[in-house]
Amino acid sequence: MEKFTHIDASTVEEAVSALGAGKAVIAGGTDLLGVLKTEIHPAYPEAIVNIKTIPNMGYIEEEGGVLKIGALATLSEIAESSLVKDKYAALAQAADAVGSPLLRNMGTIGGNLCQEVRCWYYRARKNYFNCMRKNPAGICYALIGDNRYHSIFGAVGGCIAASPSDTAPALVALNASVVTNKRTIAIEDFCTVDVAKTTVLADDEIVTEVQVPEPKSGTKQAFLKFRTRKTIDFAISSVATAITVEGGTVADARIVLGAVAPVPYRATDAEDALKGKAITESVAEEAGTAAVKGATPYTYNTYLVPLTKGLVKRAILA
């Protein structure tokens, strides 16, 4: 790694005032240090602001029917919290599905939401492909190259990198909000539609808390993730569901796909296919088909369509 200035922040205000263009935030560090070691960006950050030194930002508590998770809570803590496991099962399962146990011990919920995409052209060492995410005049190499792990639901500004987060789809299914030092944003609006960034965060903005409203009673949740090696890989396709059943039929459903679109993808057609019906295998099958109705796969990722369809069906029946 090249040299940089390292600043330990003791408060959110201090962290934010040290931030700006060309500065980076470090919490768990598992994404940032990988980025710095492989030198995937044309420029190195001048300074790294450590927010792990901010006290009391790793809480997991429930207050007035809202689960509040501090940005520094680790994925292990979330996956093992009995509160999260009991009422917010999709989030606990998603946190438990991230990387390996050691990564979960280090990685935080804030970092899992803000991590950079895993596109192998974007991540190539020493910025070998100066792609459009880093260079406005660049192209998307995945579009013409090997796109087997890329979006099947279109591009953002021409880039077809998929959203890598596991907790993000679960949080969208649970209708969560992200609190920053400036504002509270619905998680669906937090994941960006801008090609160069993965979140809407400004240069001097950090995530401080994630809020999840308590799901209605009778809400069945699930998170399923498909990956090559169960122990460590990023998702190839994932699905998070929160389905509220009242009187034997589905009153409300949120079905969200991860890793197959540039942002967590809300499969509203699948939700509509479920509403008002009792969950049976054929209804789940229909919802699965509806979930991938709008898919526009590229040369090497057509397999993701039946895979995701099957995953949705399984998650609904789970």
Partner 1 sequence: MSEEEKREKDGKISRREFLKDAGFIVGGAAIGSTALLAACGPKEEVITKTVTVEVPGPTKTVEVPEKLTKLTVNGETHELKVEANWTLNFVLREKLKLTGTKIWCEEGACGACTVLMNGVPIFSCMTLATECEERNIETIEGLSDGVTLHPIQQAFIENFGLQCGYCTPGIILVTKALLSENPNPTEKDVREALAGNICKCGDYKQIIASVLAAAAK
Give, in order, the Cα–Cα distances in Å from 225 to each of 171, 198, 211, 262, 270: 15, 21, 23, 17, 18
Nearest alpha-carbon partner for 241 in 90, 95, 126, 112: 90
List the structure tokens of 138.
Answer: 């660049």
How far apart (Å, rounded) are the C-alpha atoms in residues 164 and 30? 14
Q: Is 100 in the site for partner 1 (CB under 8 A)?
A: yes
Q: Is 232 in the site for partner 1 (CB under 8 A)?
A: yes
Closest distance to partner 1 from the beta carbon of 99 (Å): 7
In the numeric block, the tokens 């989030």 are attached to 91
Q: Is 245 in the site for partner 1 (CB under 8 A)?
A: no
Contact window for partner 1 (CB under 8 A) among 15-23, 151-159, 167-175, 255-263: 15-23
List the structure tokens of 307.
Answer: 């895979």
Instruction: Give the 3-state secondary structure of residue 205.
Output: coil
Q: Is 5 in the site for partner 1 (CB under 8 A)?
A: yes
Contact window for partner 1 (CB under 8 A) among 36-44, 153-161, 170-178, 235-243: 36-44
Contacts of 217 (CB under 8 A, 6+ apart): none
Give the residues across from 249 on adjacent strands.
246
Q: Is 33 in the site for partner 1 (CB under 8 A)?
A: yes
Q: Is 3 in the site for partner 1 (CB under 8 A)?
A: yes
- What amino acid occupies position 91? L
Contact window for partner 1 (CB under 8 A) among 19-27, 137-145, 173-181, 276-284: 19-27
Nearer to partner 1, 84 or 156 (CB): 84
| Residues near partner 1, by CB under 8 A | 1-8, 17-18, 20-22, 26, 29-30, 33-34, 36-38, 46-48, 50, 52-53, 76, 99-103, 105-106, 204, 230-232
